[in-house]
Amino acid sequence: MQRFSFQPIGVIHSRHHVAAQTPIQPVYAADFPGTVEVFPAFAAGLRDLDGYSHIYLLYVLDRAGEPRLAVKPFLQDVERGVFATRAPCRPNPIGMSIVPLLRVEGNILHVGALDILDGTPLLDIKPYSRRFDCLTETRNGWQDEVDEAQARIRGRRDCPPASPAMPEG
Ligand SMILES: C[S@@+](CC[C@H](N)C(=O)[O-])C[C@H]1O[C@@H](n2cnc3c(N)ncnc32)[C@H](O)[C@@H]1O
């Protein structure tokens, strides 16, 4: 098969340094803002991004374990096919998070709700579009079996609440 190689366009800076203490999705990480540093060579591509409230970050899960095709997801103790989960240990360890875009300062994006480890290599940014991306009628696979209150607890993993004294990003 043809191989592909990508170069990082930037790096994600967050308050998360321990995988097991990092929320599993932005929806459980509201108190964790951070910054996305886009390398100067790519900064011209940020023009007009500030009109969007949310963006997709696509990144390399560079500290994921060995790929596995069957995993127990964070929200349930039942083995599932990796492609039916968001588990990091995938054949191609690509992460995807929809995060609020708070403001743009040159090549630095201030974002909210990070579920991403500090220093993670950034592959791409795409705008979240209500027109394209907001689906209201969906089936949610095994996740429909998970109680929402339990999901909120498990979704935080062992992440302590953010200290209000810490500066943004
Ligand atoms: C379940 S994954 C979901 C990531 C992304 N929102 C997605 O859906 O692709 C989130 C977990 O990935 C782990 N993680 C975050 N950044 C990582 C990195 N750079 N390398 C390996 N694991 C990472 C953290 O432990 C976090 O709890």
88 alpha carbon – ligand 1 mean position (Å): 6
In a domain? residue 162: no
What is the domain extent for residue 86? 14-155
Measured CA to CA in angstroms, residue 52 lies from 25, 29, 101, 102, 129 at distances of: 20, 20, 7, 9, 8
Task: Name the residue at shortest CA distance from atom 13 of ligand 1.
Answer: 19
Q: What is the pLDDT of residues 47-82, one digit of tens each?
A: 999 999 999 999 999 999 999 999 999 999 999 999
In a domain? residue 166: no
Compute the average pLDDT of residues 105-123: 98
Number of domains in the chain: 1
Query: Is 88 a pocket residue for ligand 1 (Cβ < 6 Å)?
Result: yes
CA 84, CA 63: separation in Å to the nearest integer?
21
pLDDT attached to residue 142: 97
pLDDT attached to residue 169: 46
Residue 164 has pLDDT above 70, yes or no: no
Contact 11, 122 (CB under 8 A): yes
Query: Is 22 a pocket residue for ligand 1 (Cβ < 6 Å)?
Result: yes
In a domain? residue 25: yes
CATH number at residue 149: 2.40.30.70
Identify the residue whose tokens are 């579920």: 115
